[in-house]
Structure 1
């Protein structure tokens, strides 16, 4: 037996943390049926033991929380996992973690702000764009050998750190996108090897980033100018220490980037590269340290380098570079042009119907470069784009070898693989994974181009799929901290987190249109505060996230109950029922129902909101009752369970009994069945309506945002398995394979997004939401599911499909690798140690423990 993959806070050798650690590990063995019978965790600071769990008789191997002495700031700890199994074997392994600044009092540095007068360089619909600011500090170190040096830094605006001209790592867009007025991450860097005796230089280059963007920044900014804080802690080998920190002695100024904006783009003068205008003093500010906390997840980093696939001329004579893949990031470009030449790079996702450049976004996504004296490599520093193509203007003889796309994403470990005998499904899976990578940029975004916003509804429907493909625990935990920080006093959960200035007008319009004076919670969007932690628990067994988010979840559920009592519904029902129908306020409804949108205004939302909101209110409360039970809160469990039953009764006595269900909206019946709302006497009628709607739609799906994740499972529940499979294989629009067969390299925002080639509508070709079908593919087609949180008991039950002769899936669970490979005549599986499986194949059922197994016919 071997112990491997040790993690702290679900990160390998976690560095710069300020949370109470939790530990996890995995087991491997050549034996079958291996079960962990006990573990022991010891944590040490040097040779001193700060926690010894003792030998615990337990199968627990994830989210084991530290219960030792109070940890110290800026300290390296080693920890050891010792494990025993049912064969009497014993094994161990070691790892480490390092703390950051654990107390606000550990911060001795001052905030410093720029005094550079920054004038708007260009005007943009959602705000002005400005030049980034360079902060600089020179200092001297004694002729002593350094044992370790750690830099703790943060900013308002996105920053890049340089020590003696070198970057300590390759992270991008620090300090990440957060609810800045309440929560601001700082980063920890190991700069030991970058320092030297004698003269040294710290530089922090700060662009507007999310905070100062007119689109993504907070509505009320307490900080008006780019500002930074840093604290360098140096330990020498002789035991002495030294601290260099921001204190107002720095200088600031601009450099070679003339402006930068996340949406507008960036302009660089390469003739000024390497020069700085740092002649201005800085101003110390009392912004406080209360909002600072250590970054709890890995950073945004380059995820892939993609060479250009082709350079071509459009029918209009434009020069376009094609990378063959829609991605999130920017290009690394060798600039060889006469000095002073201005070259423009327009990033975009699709060509129009004639093969020309078309912009389907609010902003141009345009980078501009002024060439210097010698050939130089250009890459934007403070912006990223969603693109497949770049239109190049101002330079001749464009060569594809001069262009490399740099794909960016928050770093996460891969945990999913899929391959089958049909290349269209393989491409669909790639599209899903690309969309996930492109939209996990510090937060879960809707798209990396138009809005770059943390829409809560998108991740609500996609969280399960995301968790089955990557280690999402640190990333989603971080985002949920922001959801809690953004939550209003009355329990309202905002439609985007972090809530962005762009949507202030939208919220005001909601309030005005529906007679409210405050933001309203939105069914299927705000519910993410409950649904996402619940999905994390189901996939990983993470009780800790339920505990951490319990108060925000309770506040939200109490909001649902309270606002349901306020008689502001869209339809007139008796008070005894109406008070349990959450049909009040504004809701987006199902959203993006194919062929049913009439312009996207708020009045259109009412067409499906009257059932969407009560349905989701009910399901969220049943989910919350289960969570309360898991956390042993019997009082809340009883309240939410009883209220949910009254909601179900109210739905049945109104929407169902009075036949208020829409005749033409497929999603209404999908959700009614998915949430077990349909009474037995209506099952046949509602099933018949659903099947009829599918047939009338050309045997295509007709569901929008909130119903699509449940469509396939509902059909299987209604003994229509073949129809569910047929929808996956459908190639007419709307369908997943229609997108594949029409050249998609990511998941589209709307089923009819390709109309933009003709109409120029604002639509994204890189939204992960409808990629939620991969959850069904994994469970049904590939056969990997679980009936226990954390996959301790796995259900392996692949469904035959005549269109496939081969299917392969891997899921890296908390226990270890789950693998299924099936052909027409064989089934091969891997069950990880400390787990068991029920295998259902070809009408037979088998019970197994861990190990590799093969069945053939």
Structure 2
């Protein structure tokens, strides 16, 4: 037993005390070893200007509480602490104080002019800006507010003001910009001071679009604006703002682009004869020119999303000499970031770094980059050991080709620097299957690489856009692995701004032109806010996004018309179905109209639930009634009374089951057919972006856990584990982004870091390990593990808004042991593998159940065995394939990939198409040997 100890959580970027709202939401996690602990109440104390005041909370509420005090004023600093009392009457100690700093500007406080280079070139030109000012007395506090349409870093007195990367990120600049709020008191002193800015275009000047349609959307040159508030010890203050008095110059960064990379000439360093840098007072700015005042940046908002930082470093794992004699560095992990080098050599020597995710036949595989050069160049100054890392670009890569290195190359002089949004890690998973663990690790790295200010499709080629469909399917997995609430909350604001008449564009920010409705993509508007509510109890985001949710649903309802079916329009459909041709990724087995109408139901239902949550009862009934009309129309049009879908494909069945379109009495028939289709395919995946996140839930829900296990553990293409067997360290865009012979998929669109197909992570967490939210924010947990045959253990752990939760199981000697940790101030419903259901409170729990008998293969197997029996007998299947591989590899490949593993066909009949009499005889003999070994083993047993 222990006294409860709370830890305050504020609505601020990870690792920051700076809040973006005058009324930030609050919460706390309580630590205690008292079992079954529930909060009876709490006291929240705020201290402002040395004066404390207290607010009392009754009951269990401890997450995402509305600010209970007078609103914060701009730049106000306050201290918060909390003390909780349990239902057992024990009052805890006060928490450690948590500082809160108001990071927003006051009304009409934004007064900075927008500036840039005075004579820009025809292409986006990186540049340098500076000014000097005099602090007229002792400085009590200095606060910098800065933004750009582009990317920037500020230094004061030659010291960077923070460790952020590529700030302020990317938003729809015409409608929303972000300012950083930085305490620079330590850098501003009485007397002369200097501010220096490094500036480049990045997203603001990149050419977005495909092929000949690519163009800059936000202007040709980067723009910057900032204002520094200096508060003096005597109570006076002054603003230092960007204006026409600032100076500008070009410098060592001679070219910069997201897709192209950076060129840096260290000989052009901006250091004067006295050794002062351009961001230091007294610097000789001869040759600098007055800045140009440019089109104003709209008044920026304070940041709500996490900062992007350098968060990891990887050393060179291997130095490869390619068949053509080139030097390629392998960092052992597909990552997103840059390469930092330490090099010495003569002035003018140029080191070139070219990046790619894979090798193809031993050489750097750059074709998937399309028009992205992904190349950085550093020209040496010739002054001892020089260290350099690109600043305003990033690459998706595992490999870097090095050219022009002066002298003997030392791999220790090169480091890969990993960058992404600095979110708190909250979720972990492990199983006894090594390949499944690598799959999960690939999911994590895929998230890390594509959560860089916004959720992108991929980080390497000439795209890197905020595709709505990808995050729609991946949001549940992401919300388990990291605290993504602020990250997705910020992106959803942009989504709402980019909607046109309710229609959500394909990408946010929208750089691809007019918005067109597309099922599963635009539905991010309704589904992602609901995920944030489910995982974080985030009612505020649902409330703010409700008009966006409703606008999207209304647009679809109008398109569907009185038939209540969304038909005959452009769709991505079940994008990248593995049977779609490489250059026709939308040609899926599931009809696009079925996908569209299923999502029409899902979005109408989501709006109904959101309306009910917000107390909009009339609208809740309205949208619920529309959802029922869509359900009725869907079932009448696409589902037969006996449970067959008009598109007899895995995705169609999975949607009808998991979206709860089909009634309970029909779901079993649908699930049986889904399981049959999965076996007929040889337990290979047959779904694209839409079906992949839900097929395992559909199988599990309808009682086909063993089929789901076989689908999970399949290693032949297409499958989740095929890329793992090919050495993948992130999730691929296509099931076969790399072919078995080591060739890159011939399709024009191929990425090796695309998280969408990693949406299976949510099923691993919720179903295999058995850790899921039963109520929003895990206030009530569902512990329901599903021990998979041939696995010895699996567990998941998640840092919920209430504390650490854990669920898992181990199998040993005929017993399955289920373990769970339930956080304080929560409860859990537990469903054990033997069907028992019970309720528990917080604390550590353990149960034992008898292990279910594993599936057993038939003793005898031969040419007369059915194909279903063969595919369910892995040992027999491997024996057949081994014989075929030895006799005719092409026949073996055809047998693996084209056979329909039916209960009504015999093996001998199927082999007639793939093997001659001699090969069939060899297979029969091999299977007879296997049968004899099994019978002998049974006798011995």
Q: Which residue in the other structure is 2:911 paired with?
A: none
Which has the higher mean CA deviation after the structures are superposed, 834-843 or 316-325? 834-843
CA 1:601/1:226 → structure 2, altered by over 3 Å: closer, same or farther?
A: same
Deviation at 1:632, TM superposition (A): 0.8
CA 1:652/1:802 → structure 2, altered by over 3 Å: closer, same or farther?
A: closer
Q: In structure 1, what is the Cα distance between the partners aligned to 2:267 and 2:104?
A: 40
Residue 842 of structure 2 corresponds to residue 833 of structure 1: no
Q: In structure 2, what is the Cα distance between the partners aligned to 1:255 and 1:754?
A: 42
Q: In structure 2, what is the Cα distance between the partners aligned to 1:586 and 1:660?
A: 25
Q: In structure 1, what is the Cα distance between the partners aligned to 2:438 and 2:674?
A: 29
Deviations 1:360-379 (A, max 9, x none): 11212111121221231121
Cα RMSD (Å)? 2.3
Aligned with residue 128 of structure 2, among 129, 134, 137: 134
Alignment of 1:74-223 (within 5 A): 74-91=75-92, 92-93=94-95, 94-120=97-123, 130-142=124-136, 144-215=137-208
CA 1:169/1:325 → structure 2, altered by over 3 Å: closer, same or farther?
A: same
- Give me the TM-score of the superposition, normalised by structure 1: 0.91
Deviation at 1:338, TM superposition (A): 2.6
- Give me the TM-score of the superposition, normalised by structure 2: 0.83
Alignment of 1:514-525 (within 5 A): 519-525=515-521
Which has the higher mean CA deviation after the structures are superposed, 398-407 or 323-332? 398-407
CA 1:842/1:83 → structure 2, altered by over 3 Å: closer, same or farther?
A: same
Deviation at 1:688, TM superposition (A): 4.6
Aligned with residue 634 of structure 1, among 602, 617, 622: 617
Which has the higher mean CA deviation after the structures are superposed, 416-425 or 5-14? 5-14
2:125–2:200 contact (8 Å) kept in structure 1 = yes
Deviation at 1:237, TM superposition (A): 2.5
Q: Which has the larger radius of gyration?
A: 2
Q: Which residue in the other structure is 2:545 paired with?
A: 549
Residue 48 of structure 2 corresponds to residue 45 of structure 1: yes
Residue 283 of structure 2 corresponds to residue 297 of structure 1: no
Q: In structure 2, what is the Cα distance between the partners aligned to 1:660 and 1:521?
A: 28
Which has the higher mean CA deviation after the structures are superposed, 580-589 or 637-646? 580-589
2:48–2:78 contact (8 Å) kept in structure 1 = yes
Q: Which residue in the other structure is 2:532 paired with?
A: 536
Alignment of 1:305-344 (within 5 A): 305-344=313-352
Deviations 1:407-466 (A, max 9, x none): 001001110122232222221111111111111000011111122111010110010111
Q: Which residue in the other structure is 1:391 paired with?
A: 401
Residue 852 of structure 2 corresponds to residue 852 of structure 1: no
Deviations 1:758-786 (A, max 9, x none): 45544111111111111111111111123
Secondary structure class of the residue paired with 2:207: coil
Secondary structure class of the residue paired with 1:323: strand
Q: Which residue in the other structure is 1:571 paired with?
A: none
1:348–1:359 contact (8 Å) kept in structure 2 = no
Q: Which residue in the other structure is 2:743 paired with?
A: 757
CA 1:542/1:357 → structure 2, altered by over 3 Å: closer, same or farther?
A: closer
Q: In structure 2, what is the Cα distance between the partners aligned to 1:660 and 1:856?
A: 39
Which has the higher mean CA deviation after the structures are superposed, 89-98 or 444-453? 89-98
Q: In structure 2, what is the Cα distance between the partners aligned to 1:480 and 1:696?
A: 41
Q: Which residue in the other structure is 1:458 paired with?
A: 470
Deviation at 1:286, TM superposition (A): 5.7
Q: Which residue in the other structure is 1:710 paired with?
A: 694
2:151–2:199 contact (8 Å) kept in structure 1 = yes
Aligned with residue 581 of structure 2, among 597, 600, 615: 597
Deviation at 1:853, TM superposition (A): 2.4
1:331–1:403 contact (8 Å) kept in structure 2 = yes
Deviation at 1:253, TM superposition (A): 1.3
Alignment of 1:345-424 (within 5 A): 345-362=353-370, 363-374=372-383, 375-395=385-405, 397-424=408-435
CA 1:595/1:234 → structure 2, altered by over 3 Å: closer, same or farther?
A: same
CA 1:760/1:582 → structure 2, altered by over 3 Å: closer, same or farther?
A: closer
Residue 704 of structure 2 corresponds to residue 720 of structure 1: yes
Which has the higher mean CA deviation after the structures are superposed, 739-748 or 228-237? 228-237
Q: In structure 1, what is the Cα distance between the partners aligned to 2:443 and 2:744?
A: 25
CA 1:358/1:336 → structure 2, altered by over 3 Å: closer, same or farther?
A: same
Q: Which residue in the other structure is 1:569 paired with?
A: none
Which has the higher mean CA deviation after the structures are superposed, 790-799 or 441-450? 790-799
Deviation at 1:78, TM superposition (A): 1.6
Q: In structure 2, what is the Cα distance between the partners aligned to 1:360 and 1:221?
A: 24
Structure 1: 5+ residue stretches without partners: 121-129, 508-518, 566-575
Q: Which residue in the other structure is 1:814 paired with?
A: 801
Aligned with residue 781 of structure 1, among 768, 772, 789: 768
Q: Which residue in the other structure is 1:737 paired with?
A: 721
Secondary structure class of the residue paired with 1:343: strand
Aligned with residue 20 of structure 2, among 17, 20, 25: 17
Which has the higher mean CA deviation after the structures are superposed, 223-232 or 650-659? 650-659
Q: Which residue in the other structure is 2:447 paired with?
A: 436
Residue 51 of structure 2 corresponds to residue 65 of structure 1: no
Q: In structure 2, what is the Cα distance between the partners aligned to 1:551 and 1:536?
A: 16
1:520–1:585 contact (8 Å) kept in structure 2 = no
Q: In structure 1, what is the Cα distance between the partners aligned to 2:769 and 2:218?
A: 51
Q: In structure 1, what is the Cα distance between the partners aligned to 2:22 and 2:567?
A: 40
Secondary structure class of the residue paired with 2:743: helix
Deviations 1:822-843 (A, max 9, x none): 3225333211100112223352
**Length, aligned pairs only:** 815
Greater relative contact order: 1 or 2 (C-alpha under 8 angstroms, separation 6 or more)?
1
Q: Which residue in the other structure is 2:906 paired with?
A: none
Secondary structure class of the residue paired with 2:360: coil
CA 1:475/1:758 → structure 2, altered by over 3 Å: closer, same or farther?
A: closer
Q: In structure 1, what is the Cα distance between the partners aligned to 2:560 and 2:789?
A: 48
Secondary structure class of the residue paired with 2:758: helix
Deviation at 1:239, TM superposition (A): 2.3
Deviations 1:574-621 (A, max 9, x none): xx53xx11225321101010122362277x479631111001001111
Secondary structure class of the residue paired with 1:178: coil
Q: In structure 1, what is the Cα distance between the partners aligned to 2:503 and 2:721?
A: 38
Secondary structure class of the residue paired with 1:735: coil
Alignment of 1:463-478 (within 5 A): 463-478=475-490
Deviations 1:79-119 (A, max 9, x none): 22232211212233221211134334112322223213324
Q: In structure 2, what is the Cα distance between the partners aligned to 1:552 and 1:288?
A: 25
Q: In structure 1, what is the Cα distance between the partners aligned to 2:216 and 2:355?
A: 31
1:269–1:369 contact (8 Å) kept in structure 2 = yes
Q: In structure 1, what is the Cα distance between the partners aligned to 2:693 and 2:318?
A: 36
1:7–1:13 contact (8 Å) kept in structure 2 = no
Which has the higher mean CA deviation after the structures are superposed, 546-555 or 317-326? 546-555
Residue 236 of structure 2 corresponds to residue 240 of structure 1: yes
Aligned with residue 649 of structure 1, among 621, 632, 648: 632
Which has the higher mean CA deviation after the structures are superposed, 356-365 or 199-208? 356-365
Residue 684 of structure 2 corresponds to residue 693 of structure 1: no
Q: In structure 1, what is the Cα distance between the partners aligned to 2:618 and 2:431?
A: 48
Q: In structure 2, what is the Cα distance between the partners aligned to 1:563 and 1:730?
A: 40
Structure 2: 5+ residue stretches without partners: 272-277, 279-284, 850-941
1:146–1:234 contact (8 Å) kept in structure 2 = yes
2:12–2:304 contact (8 Å) kept in structure 1 = no
